[in-house]
């Protein structure tokens, strides 16, 4: 199955949460212009890959610290992730699976609704702030790529929404969850799920204060 091909190809990279669903489930929620018939006619499934915790970031830091001039690139983390996802592209191609890959990066030319995909494949459900919450990793994970594939895929994972029954201390109680709450580090840290997967401090700094973090990384690899 295409799901297993992607999962095996990404093993050890830090992008190791891999799940899938049939193309019918995807098309039922995709807006006009992003349905499978428009993006890749003949697709039979969608495979989604995500990272959690610190492994991907630490691999990236090793890559960047080997040549700190790379910190001057426009989107070095996205480029590193894209290169990592290519491992799955190559594996699918070797298996003779026709596919089209999509990235979750903000500058990607075509961006699917990854929040919807997380729910469809059973990786996470939308929480009271602007992230999908994983049942093990809480808010400390991120969707990285997806593939429309002309191949069989595994059925969605069984996922119990972790926010059901939670008093929502992340946002100060459910009565405060009606508006748009930004997923700040403080909000993430108050989630009762997944704190063992908390990002490294330098990873958090890169995501929330990138300019200052990059200046520090350029001076020192630590």
How many angstroms separate the CA atoms of 143 and 124, rounded? 10
Cα radius of gyration (the chain)? 18
What Cα–Cα distance (Å) separates residue 100 from each residue in 29, 83, 104, 193?
19, 15, 14, 33
128 near 165, Cβ under 8 Å? Answer: no
Res 192: pLDDT: 94
Whether the Cβ atoms of residue 95 and residue 6 lie closer than 8 Å to each other: no
> Which residue do the tokens 């799920």 mark?
193
Quote the pLDDT of residue 41.
Answer: 96
CB atoms within 10 A of CB 4: 15
Tens digit of each residue's pLDDT, the chain (222 residues): 999 999 999 999 999 999 999 999 999 988 888 899 999 999 999 999 999 999 999 999 999 999 888 888 888 999 999 999 999 999 999 999 999 999 987 777 766 777 789 999 999 998 888 789 999 999 999 999 999 999 999 999 998 888 999 999 998 888 766 666 788 999 999 999 999 999 999 999 999 988 888 888 887 655
| Number of domain units in the chain | 1
Strand pairing of 141-149 and 45-52? antiparallel
- Residues in Cβ contact with 103 at an 8 Å cutoff, skipping those fewer than 6 apart: 78, 81, 82, 85, 111, 144, 145
Of 113, 131, 110, the closest CA to residue 39 belongs to: 110
**Cα dist. 34→99, 102, 186, 205 in Å?**
15, 11, 34, 33
pLDDT at 219: 75
pLDDT for the residue 222: 55
Give the pLDDT score at 140: 97
Buried b (16+ CB within 10 A) or exposed e, 189-205: ebbebbeebbbeebbbb
pLDDT at 174: 80
Q: What separation in angstroms does the CA of 65 have from each of 61, 163, 214?
A: 6, 38, 11
User: The domain containing residue 159 runs over which residues?
Assistant: 2-219
Q: What's the CATH number where 128 sits? A: 3.40.109
């Amino acid at each position: 199955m295409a799901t297993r091909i992607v999962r095996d190809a990404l093993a050890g990279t830090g992008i190791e949460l891999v799940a899938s669903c049939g193309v019918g489930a995807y098309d039922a929620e995709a807006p006009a212009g992003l349905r499978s018939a428009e993006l890749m006619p003949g697709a039979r499934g969608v495979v989604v890959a995500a990272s959690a915790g610190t492994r991907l970031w630490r691999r990236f830091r090793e890559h960047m610290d080997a040549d700190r001039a790379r910190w001057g690139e426009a989107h070095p983390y996205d480029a590193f992730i894209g290169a990592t996802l290519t491992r799955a592209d190559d594996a699918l191609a070797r298996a003779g699976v026709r596919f089209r890959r999509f990235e979750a990066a903000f500058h990607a030319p075509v961006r699917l609704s990854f929040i919807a995909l997380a729910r469809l494949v059973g990786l996470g459900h939308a929480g009271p702030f602007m992230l999908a919450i994983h049942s093990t990793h809480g808010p400390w994970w991120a969707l990285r790529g997806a593939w429309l594939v002309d191949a069989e895929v595994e059925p969605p994972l069984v996922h119990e929404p972790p926010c059901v029954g939670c008093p929502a201390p992340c946002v100060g109680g459910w009565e405060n969850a009606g508006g748009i709450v930004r997923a700040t580090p403080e909000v993430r840290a108050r989630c009762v799920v997944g704190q063992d997967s908390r990002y490294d401090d330098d990873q958090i700094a890169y995501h929330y204060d990138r300019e200052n973090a990059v200046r520090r990384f350029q001076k020192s690899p630590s």
